[in-house]
Structure 1
Amino acid sequence: MLKPIDQGIPMERLFRPGGVTPMEPGSQQAAAVNQGESTAFGKGESCETCDSRKYKDRSDDPSVSFQSPTHISPEQASVKVRAHEHEHVRNEKAQAQREGREVLYQTVVLHGGICPDCGKPYVAGGETRTVTRGSISAEDLKGQVVDTYI
């Protein structure tokens, strides 16, 4: 699961000129880090905030990517975060099989955000949920519903 390293954003950076509504602090920062201040940008100019945004995994799974803060461009973030979350899906499924558990379902949610400086949308992080249960034998289920044998 990708989580934020730092969500401290000055209030003046939460608003964009032109009447855009304010955002909650950290709402667009699910897994990204903004380092340094930026200035106003026109078309084709590079945004320092986007250039310095880094992603870091905050799960207890040491076998997945992003163990150290890593820069990903906003254009590549969707693919790379999705691939990272798929690593969690694969690892959780393998762990359940090793433990003799059944995977009931797995979901991946990608969180999005909008850069407060340049207004570009980007994938801010993701979260994987896995629900498993221990194996249930037919003997365990007897008596739970009516068993009729003809």
Structure 2
Amino acid sequence: MAIGWLTVLKMVPWGDVIENAPKVAQGARKLWSTVGKKSPPDVSDAASPDDTAQTTLSAQESALAGLQTQVTTLQIATAELHQQMLESSVLIQSLAEQNTQLIQRLELTRKRMLALFLLTLVLGMMLLKLYFW
């Protein structure tokens, strides 16, 4: 199972990932600043026809009341979508920041692994020199 993960990790173009991490974080910040500044659409209660009135509405008034109800429904749906967009942009910004931190840690780990490899190589060469001399 670990071999599969190693294969996947080897296939990732880490140079491109490291190079693009700041761009991703910056894009998420721009998205958040753009979305965060927008105010949600104003949802005003539509005037509903008085149920107690005994008057009958004409065809035009009935159509107008139906359209007004649809507009109110659409305004509510738009406000809900705007809220979801705000929450999504916060999540994207958080993920971009975590991605940047992950890339920084991976780069540090890569450098440490390289240093350990070189140290092991030098120690191995010294051991071979001692063994064969």
Band of TM-score, shorter chain: under 0.3
Is the helix fraction higher in 1 or 2?
2
Which of 1 and 2 has greater Rg? 2
Structure with higher strand content? 1
Q: TM-score, normalised by structure 2?
A: 0.24
